[in-house]
Amino acid sequence: MPVKHNLFADLKLSKEEVENRAKSDDRLSQLLTEYHVSDADVVKAEDRAAADDEVKKLKEKRLLIKDKIVQQLG
């Protein structure tokens, strides 16, 4: 069964730390929303056993958003 990706472990920050920063950073807040939607899309695709190509593209999209989050936090 597919599972959601743990963004906060990758960031080496707690969920609370990131959410607190997002409260005063609209761009970070937007990126987090985009990330969670993208992550859900990956989980759905994996759950329905989508083509490897589709899953790969969705994961790449999620990674690009994560990279933007890292930049925004930097």
What distance in Å separates the CA atoms of residue 16 and residue 62, rounded to the nearest whole number?
21
Q: What mean pLDDT comes out for the span 48-57?
A: 89
* pTM, full prediction: 0.89
Q: Contact at 8 Å (CB) between 32 and 4? A: no
21 CB-near residues (< 8 Å, 6+ apart): 28, 73
Strand, coil or helix: 6 = coil
In this structure, of 15-24, 36-45, 47-56, the range with the lowest mean pLDDT score is 47-56
Q: Which two tokens stand for residue 40?
A: 């859900």
Q: What is the pLDDT of residues 12-38, one digit of tens each?
A: 999 999 999 999 999 999 999 999 999
